[in-house]
Amino acid sequence: MAFIDPMTEDDVAAVVAIDGATVGSSGWDEAQVRGELTRSWARLWVVREEQAELHASVRAFLCAWLVADELHILNVATDTTHRRRGHAGRLLTHALRFAAEQGVRMLLLEVRRSNAPAIGLYRAFGFTAMGIRARYYGDGEDAVEMVLRLDELGQPLPGRDEVRLSRHENL
Ligand SMILES: CC(C)(COP(=O)(O)OP(=O)(O)OC[C@H]1O[C@@H](n2cnc3c(N)ncnc32)[C@H](O)[C@@H]1OP(=O)(O)O)[C@@H](O)C(=O)NCCC(=O)NCCS
């Protein structure tokens, strides 16, 4: 059974391992994750999955910053061997519920332009492309800025892409 928990110090090594195994990893190290855990405006959650004879293992994590009425999603990743099992979706559903409770009106994030799985994930939740940040990443790749607006009851509002990603990328 998979369930969501707030991230703790005990999860840091597992989270860094999941992040590090990712192509185009954000490069978070243990100090950075610990730093996030100390920020009052940061929210970090993990998905744990119970295994038969072992304690629950971390399968995925999400880190976000709550800034006034905006929730900035900084990082989300799922263990490479446990993808496409709904873990990131669970985390985003949880983040959306949290956002609604907090009166958030806008969820924001940046994603690599080539990151079709992540863009697919965000689109599945109603995020749309709001802008392009040229050469945003250290290796020169563009970032796509994505947004999901919520109404005063915390319900997602339908939106449309404000920028075209690429007719070749089929995103
Ligand atoms: C993007 C990522 C977090 C998705 O995690 P996941 O746990 O596999 O995602 P889920 O199983 O919850 O998928 C939920 C939905 O997202 C979309 N999605 C997920 N992976 C996808 C893929 N490879 N291609 C297209 N859509 C995808 C689908 O709509 C999927 O629903 P479905 O499986 O019913 O079709 C994962 O691929 C990952 O860790 N990538 C590396 C880290 C990363 O790029 N993070 C984003 C930083 S901005």
Angle at 29 between CA 24 and CA 33, to 5 degrees: 105
How remote is the CA of residue 23 from the centroid of ligand 1, in Å?
13
State whether the beta carbon of 144 lies less than 6 angstroms from ligand 1. no
| Structural contact between residues 19 and 2, judged by C-beta atoms closer than 8 angstroms | no
State whether the beta carbon of 78 lies less than 6 angstroms from ligand 1. yes
Q: What is the number of the ligand 1 atom nearest to the C-alpha of 77?
A: 39
How remote is the CA of residue 86 from the centroid of ligand 1, in Å?
8
How remote is the CA of residue 83 from the centroid of ligand 1, in Å?
7
Within 13 Å of residue 142, how many CA atoms lie on the same side as its CB? 14
pLDDT on residue 166 = 73
pLDDT on residue 168 = 55
Q: Residue 27 is encoded by which pair of tokens?
A: 């490069």
How remote is the CA of residue 84 from the centroid of ligand 1, in Å?
6
Q: What is the number of the ligand 1 atom nearest to the C-alpha of 25?
A: 42
Q: What is the number of the ligand 1 atom nearest to the C-alpha of 59?
A: 7
SS (H, E, C) 96-129: HHHHHHCCCCEEEEEEECCCHHHHHHHHHCCCEE
Nearest CA to ligand 1 atom 20: 117
How remote is the CA of residue 117 from the centroid of ligand 1, in Å?
5
Nearest CA to ligand 1 atom 16: 121
pLDDT on residue 25 = 75
**Structural domains for the chain:** 1-104 (3.40.630.30), 105-171 (3.40.630.30)
What is the rounded distance in angstroms from the CA atom of residue 151 to the CA atom of residue 165? 26
- Amino acid identity of 106? M
Name residues of the chain where pLDDT drops below 50: none
Nearest CA to ligand 1 atom 40: 77
pLDDT on residue 149 = 98
